[in-house]
A and B are shown apart, each in its own frame.
Chain A
Amino acid sequence: MNPNKSKAIGGILIILLVLISLFSVKFGAVTISIQEIWSSLSHILEGTEITDLNERIFMQIRLPRVIMGIFVGAALAVGGVLMQALFRNPIVEPGLIGTSSGAAFGAALYFVLGATFGFHFGEWTLPIAACIGGILSTLMVFYLSQSREGGKSSVVSLLLTGIAINALFLSGVGFLSYIARDPQARSITFWNLGTLSGSYWEGLYLVAGVTVCCVLISLRYAKQLNALMLGEQEAQLLGISIFQLKIKILLVNVVMVAVATAFVGVIGFVGLIVPHLLRMLNGSDNRFLIWAGALLGAIILTGADLTARLLLAPAELPIGIVTSLIGVPVFIILLRRSNYFF
């Protein structure tokens, strides 16, 4: 890794992100012209009412959706970087260790029980429910996969425990949608497949705020995560409190991923491929992986969302299906490569 290469990659990623975001606001079920984008932005600046239909589509649907994609992509990718660094393994991502399915379960529970018993504490109820679900499932996987001797997580036991806990929480989601009434069941199905179509400005502020905070916090721990590459014992000999580091990183990751999942549903594989592509480009320094991961994650998710909208236009595919279609082959290639040890 050298600093000039990092800067070059950063520059290219920013240009790509701007380009793909422009494409993404422009194209979809309705194509929006540059003039319309320009005119609706100037309406906002002047504080005047938007009357044109296309301009309203742009401001209320298209723009929040694209920006939501950017932040969710960043959150998922950085979550992947953190989990891989923490578990010292290149095939871990938030979806595989139960965070996403737990969050979906928490959200489904809120939908069904909230509708049945009528509790609702405003805007924050849904993300908090998703967060609690995500924290619960991640802790279960983390705790159950620790071997009794020495407290180390072997990767095989980690992944297998992840599969089991994922199955548990997804069947919980299945049960809830089975007992749910129609509108609730539809909301639940949306979690499992993931879509950015429900994005709105208030939710976007929350996701953006949480993601930015968590990424900044992660950058502070990049050095310690680098030391962890040597193994937990060696990192401790370098003066790092492993237990505290684990708790902090898990917490940051769970909050970031669970909040994103609360608004857009379960989107897999972004957290897996992004850190990997970056490592192939420029090595494994976590300081680089975190900020570049945020950018590349944003690019990939925005691209996937654009694909999901255009492939069957005017209908659209759930984005989780698109990322899985890209992610699964990459995952299999990783498993078959030999320059990683497991």
Chain B
Amino acid sequence: MITLENLSFEKSGKQLVQDVSANFEKGKMHLILGPNGAGKSTLIKLISGELKPSNGTVLMDEKNLHHISIKEQAKIRAVLSQNIELSFPLDVSQVVLMGRFPHYEGSPNSLDMRICEESMKLFRVDEMRDRNYLTLSGGEKQRVQFARVFAQIWQPVQGKSRLLLLDEPLTFLDVFYQYDLMDKIREFMVENPDLTVLGVVHDLNIAAKYSDTIMLLKNSKVFAKGASDDVLNEKNIYEVFGVVVENKFEIK
């Protein structure tokens, strides 16, 4: 679904991503791990089109990302990030409706409204639909953003597969919601087999539990990649993060 070919990104003389090549298969969850400053977020921004690579290409369904207009991209690709603030007060339902913006001109139709309802229900924010977003707690805001982002890619688009990018979206959530969200993404993937999930999380336990493949980044290069069980071993973790892993917490 997503292919990276010799992807590099340089900013003010510093190589933030160096020569990354990879192929991320459709319908699977691919997580990227690495210490701070390893280039994880930059890599996600290159794939979301926010940054232009200095070298190499990103292919989406075999098409060069930069030949797809940002409007077309927005119909099939959404990004879950962290800590999104609004500049003005707005009701929760209006924030969620923004997820449908790429799909309609003028006014939303009944399908757009229905998708927003379902997405709000999924993330249990439908009861706060009329509340001002700015007055919500951090965790509540994040759930509203999940509802918005899922509304954006709720339905398949003919002839194309969908992509969900994760840019450390779990950072400000407590343990319950971290696992709850990952469960929901997994359930959503079962019902929507054309959806690829690709992203960055910090928690090794979550990565081990939910991912299909893992890519380890160190010093802006790929250190290891492959099936989760093969990559996430004590030796690799020690060499990349410099920590010794003992027993994992298993959260059921």
- Which residues of A pack against B, CB within 8 Å? 1, 84, 88-90, 223-224, 226-231, 233-234, 236-241, 279, 283-285, 339, 341
A239 lies within 8 A of B101 (CB): yes
Interface pairs (29), CB distance under 8 Å: A1-B91, A1-B94, A84-B88, A88-B87, A90-B87, A224-B101, A226-B90, A226-B94, A226-B98, A226-B101, A227-B98, A227-B101, A229-B86, A229-B90, A230-B84, A230-B98, A234-B81, A237-B79, A238-B98, A238-B102, A239-B69, A239-B71, A239-B74, A239-B101, A239-B102, A240-B70, A279-B88, A283-B90, A283-B91
Q: B87's closest neighbor in chain A, by CB?
A: A88
Residues of A within 8 A of B102 (CB): 238-239
CA distance A339 to B134 in the complex (A): 8
A248 CB to nearest chain B CB (Å): 15
B78: Cβ under 8 A from any A Cβ: yes
A340 CB to nearest chain B CB (Å): 8
Total interface residues on B, using CB and 8 Å?
A: 30
B30: Cβ under 8 A from any A Cβ: no
Q: A223's closest neighbor in chain B, by CB?
A: B101
B242: Cβ under 8 A from any A Cβ: no
A334 CB to nearest chain B CB (Å): 13
CA distance A230 to B86 in the complex (A): 5
With contacts A238-B152, A239-B74, A339-B89 known, is A231 near B84, CB below 8 A? yes
Interface positions, chain B 62-109, Cβ under 8 Å from A, are 69-75, 77-79, 81, 84-91, 94-95, 98-99, 101-102
Residues of B within 8 A of A88 (CB): 87-88
B57: Cβ under 8 A from any A Cβ: no
A284 lies within 8 A of B71 (CB): no
A81 CB to nearest chain B CB (Å): 11
B120 CB to nearest chain A CB (Å): 16
B191: Cβ under 8 A from any A Cβ: no
Scoring B residues 24 to 50 as 1 if CB is less than 8 Å from chain A, else 0, what string do you get?
000000000000000000000000111
Residues of A within 8 A of B84 (CB): 230-231, 234
B53 CB to nearest chain A CB (Å): 17
CA distance A226 to B79 in the complex (A): 18
A118 CB to nearest chain B CB (Å): 49
- Which residues of B pack against A, CB within 8 Å? 48-50, 69-75, 77-79, 81, 84-91, 94-95, 98-99, 101-102, 134, 152
CA distance A341 to B135 in the complex (A): 12
With contacts A223-B101, A226-B98, A233-B50 known, is A241 near B70, CB below 8 A? yes
Q: B85's closest neighbor in chain A, by CB?
A: A341
Residues of A within 8 A of B77 (CB): 237
Q: A234's closest neighbor in chain B, by CB?
A: B84
Residues of A within 8 A of B78 (CB): 237
A279 lies within 8 A of B74 (CB): no
CA distance A237 to B239 in the complex (A): 35
Q: A223-B101, A236-B50, A239-B69 are in contact. List 11 more A-B contacts (CB 8 A).
A: A88-B87, A89-B87, A226-B101, A229-B87, A229-B88, A229-B90, A233-B81, A237-B48, A283-B91, A283-B94, A339-B89
Residues of B within 8 A of A283 (CB): 89-91, 94
Q: Which of B49, B101, B134 is A238 in contact with, Cβ under 8 Å?
A: B101
Residues of A within 8 A of B72 (CB): 239
CA distance A283 to B85 in the complex (A): 16
CA distance A279 to B72 in the complex (A): 32
B68 CB to nearest chain A CB (Å): 11
Residues of A within 8 A of B75 (CB): 239
B99 CB to nearest chain A CB (Å): 8
B73 lies within 8 A of A239 (CB): yes
Q: A88's closest neighbor in chain B, by CB?
A: B87
- 8 closest A-B pairs (Cβ-Cβ)? A239-B74, A284-B88, A88-B87, A239-B71, A239-B102, A238-B101, A229-B86, A229-B87
CA distance A88 to B72 in the complex (A): 25
CA distance A212 to B87 in the complex (A): 27
A92 CB to nearest chain B CB (Å): 11
CA distance A261 to B163 in the complex (A): 49
A281 CB to nearest chain B CB (Å): 12
A312 CB to nearest chain B CB (Å): 39
B85 lies within 8 A of A237 (CB): no
Q: B148's closest neighbor in chain A, by CB?
A: A230
Q: B108's closest neighbor in chain A, by CB?
A: A223
With contacts A231-B84, A236-B50, A238-B101 known, is A285 near B74, CB below 8 A? no
Which of B48, B87, B89, B98 lies at the interface centre, i.e. has the most chain A CB atoms within 10 A of its CB? B87
B30 CB to nearest chain A CB (Å): 19
CA distance A236 to B78 in the complex (A): 11
CA distance A227 to B87 in the complex (A): 10
B146 CB to nearest chain A CB (Å): 13
Q: Which of B69, B81, B86, B90 is A285 in contact with, Cβ under 8 Å?
A: B90
Residues of A within 8 A of B87 (CB): 88-90, 228-229, 231, 341
CA distance A223 to B77 in the complex (A): 19
A166 CB to nearest chain B CB (Å): 23
Residues of A within 8 A of B79 (CB): 237
B134 CB to nearest chain A CB (Å): 7
